[in-house]
Structure 1
Amino acid sequence: MEEIKVKKGPLQRTKMTLSILALIVIAACSKVEGEPGQQRRAEGDGKIQIVATTGMITDAVQEIGGGEVEVQGLMGPGVDPHLYKASQGDIEKLGNAEIIFYGGLHLEGKMTEILEKLEKRKPTVAVSKGIDPSLLRSGEDAGGSQYDPHIWFNVKHWISVSETIRDTLAEYDPDHAAEYERNAEAYIAELHALDAEVKERIAEIPEAGRVLVTAHDAFGYFGDAYGIKVMGLQGISTAAEYGSKDVGQLRDFLVENKIKAVFVESSIPTKSMEAVIAGAKEMGHDVRIGGELYSDSMGEPGSDADTYIKMIRHNTDTIVEALK
């Protein structure tokens, strides 16, 4: 299928430019009038004002920052970061923040340019920056950017992310560096235990059945780290289009390999996978939905996926119970 490129009109370009300019103006005003977060700390509870993009990053920053930080997350449960557009309220939050943490590797799609502009004004940190590029998956072959941004699905990469958050907080607030170090040490110990747990659970699936089929190609790091073949209908970004050819190829794979379950994702409509299941049924092979996985966002507060660790555990348990 030939790719159709839509050229941005003057109005679209103007809106984007105005958004970026508004953000720069807010940031510049902060410099002139004194950092809003620092002023609030002096007048209030003394917490560092932080904004994070995704729920996973928000959770990690809160774990490591502890009582010294107040973290606002921009993207809640079920939100797709690849397609997310910053609202005026988001721009104000970013302008008022003392530190901003984001995924990087073009995870935030349309927001990337805004975040890169802010790096010149205040600590604006891509949490993926500490990962050795040789350990990153390519994203070009899967309809994405240079690298696959879904680093959180390899728990060892999330340990690197935690170290970046720890070091950023310690550098910004050296008076509490020891506290950030302690919090990070405890959190990283939990992550090492989680990494081992996931390996043990995936080993419960018979080797021939270790095939994870999802709506978009978000689980590549998970597959590489824990020994499971991963296939997605769409590329690594949900902005990538899929067509009847993609549906047909995935349907044929399911039928030929007698795959019994596929998975839907909390941040993506289920219609794409339903089309694949219907196609397989027409060919005499029944495929069921093995469960809902959390890919680009965590679960609702109070759910069994409302923290990063619980999210990874939920996904692993769902995959294992459906495939073993």
Structure 2
Amino acid sequence: MACSDSPQGAESAAGASMSAASYQVVCTVGMITDIVRNVAGDYAQVEGIIGEGVDPHLYKPTRGDVVKLSQADIVFYNGLLLEGKMTDVLVRVATTGKPVKAVTEAILGDRDYILDKDDGSEHTDPHVWMDVGGWLRAVPVVAETLADFDLVHADDYRTNAAAYVEKLEALDAYAKRAMATIPEGQRVLVTAHDAFQYLGRAYGIEVRGIQGVSTESEAGVRDLEDLVDFIVERAIPAVFVETSVADKNVRALVEGARARSHKVDVGGSLYSDAMGAAGTYEGTYIGMIDHNIRTIVNALGGSTDGFKQ
């Protein structure tokens, strides 16, 4: 995609005179916005477009979004077709010569890491942020993009990035410890859509999603029946809804299992494609992941009091 390359030259030269909060950065999803705020500090005004409870797979940019993207000095997006309906706008903005950067750039060529959709489309799974160890690879991409644009504060961006990576490494280690407390036979995560495969691989839990990787897909009756069979046969104690996906299919699983004389609880609501409300702990990437890990672990028979920073 053309907008994955960050132009060099004029922006870098102009960046030598950047002062505090003197340039604007616009991001697509909250998980990226949080990285940029941690790395940029007070030197940039950072704004996210897709807010809490909003599904980026289905999101169509408004006229106001297009204006924000056009007026921004730097744009960050996820890539891997997460923001599929924004692609044309991102490409168009990139033609203006400003940096328009996919934060997943560092892992795009790592075929041993990237997961593919299982729908035969040959598209990749974009939900990399569910694996903290993978997502922290986006931090240097942000830091170097900002450093190239604002040379005066380049060392500050790299220092901030290193500090944030250290926090994420601790979060990753915590997630592994916490998930390991779930009894082995109950390490199965059933959710509304298939957004947790990176989490499952990283933290040792089997994942089943009702819908596919993109919420544009529909779950058929046969798919639901097969998943009910799986839940009953494995005696799964809990299934999970998601904050950005309708819960009707998960409720259908619960009812279907009940009809088969197996009680399965809704273990809680997970953040998948969007973080929590701005200004809350869950409105940060660390808080989002901590919430998810605590919710999953405690509902499936493990034990954790949460991440201690």
Please say whether Structure 1 and Structure 2 have the same fold, judged by a TM-score greater than 0.5.
yes
Query: Does 1:211 find its partner at 2:185?
Result: no
CA distance in 2, matches of 1:176, 1:133: 34
Q: Any residues of structure 2 matched to 1:63-212 within 5 Å, and which?
A: 63-121=38-96, 122-131=98-107, 132-139=110-117, 141-142=118-119, 146-212=123-189
Q: Are the aligned partners of 2:20 and 2:44 in contact in 1 as well (CA < 8 Å)?
A: no
CA distance in 2, matches of 1:142, 1:205: 30
Partner of 1:51: 26
CA distance in 1, matches of 2:45, 2:204: 38
**Cα-to-partner distance string for 1:144-194 (whole Å, 9 max, x where unaligned):** 661100000111111110010011111111111000011001000001100
Q: Are the aligned partners of 1:144 and 1:236 in contact in 2 as well (CA < 8 Å)?
A: no
Partner of 1:23: none
For the aligned residue pairs, the C-alpha RMSD in angstroms reads 1.9
Give the CA deviation at 1:133.
Answer: 3.3
Partner of 1:8: none
Change (3 A) 1:263 1:144: farther
| Aligned match for 1:291, one of 268, 274, 283 | 268
Classify the secondary structure of the residue corresponding to 1:73.
strand
Paired residues, number: 286
- The list of structure 1 runs, each at least 4 consecutive aligned residues, that deviate by more than 6 angstroms after superposition, is none
Partner of 1:233: 210
Partner of 1:19: none
Classify the secondary structure of the residue corresponding to 1:134.
coil
Q: Are the aligned partners of 2:192 and 2:211 in contact in 1 as well (CA < 8 Å)?
A: yes
Q: Are the aligned partners of 1:234 and 1:240 in contact in 2 as well (CA < 8 Å)?
A: yes
Partner of 1:22: none
Classify the secondary structure of the residue corresponding to 1:83.
coil
CA distance in 2, matches of 1:144, 1:269: 24
Query: Does 1:317 find its partner at 2:294?
Result: yes
CA distance in 2, matches of 1:46, 1:190: 24
Q: Any residues of structure 2 matched to 1:228-267 within 5 Å, and which?
A: 228-267=205-244
CA distance in 1, matches of 2:216, 2:144: 33
Q: Are the aligned partners of 1:78 and 1:297 in contact in 2 as well (CA < 8 Å)?
A: yes
Q: Are the aligned partners of 1:214 and 1:232 in contact in 2 as well (CA < 8 Å)?
A: yes
CA distance in 2, matches of 1:180, 1:160: 15
Classify the secondary structure of the residue corresponding to 1:53.
strand
| Letter paired with 1:138 | D
CA distance in 2, matches of 1:303, 1:69: 21
Change (3 A) 1:142 1:228: farther
- The one of the two structures with greater contact order (alpha-carbon pairs below 8 A, sep at least 6) is 2
Give the CA deviation at 1:66.
Answer: 0.5
Classify the secondary structure of the residue corresponding to 1:269.
coil
Gaps of at least 5 residues in structure 2 are 1-9, 302-309
Gaps of at least 5 residues in structure 1 are 1-33
CA distance in 2, matches of 1:134, 1:62: 30
Give the CA deviation at 1:45.
Answer: 5.6
CA distance in 2, matches of 1:183, 1:304: 20
Q: Any residues of structure 2 matched to 1:261-276 within 5 Å, and which?
A: 261-276=238-253
| Letter paired with 1:87 | T
Q: Are the aligned partners of 1:212 and 1:231 in contact in 2 as well (CA < 8 Å)?
A: yes
**Cα-to-partner distance string for 1:94-121 (whole Å, 9 max, x where unaligned):** 1100100000000012112221232232
Q: Percent identity?
A: 48
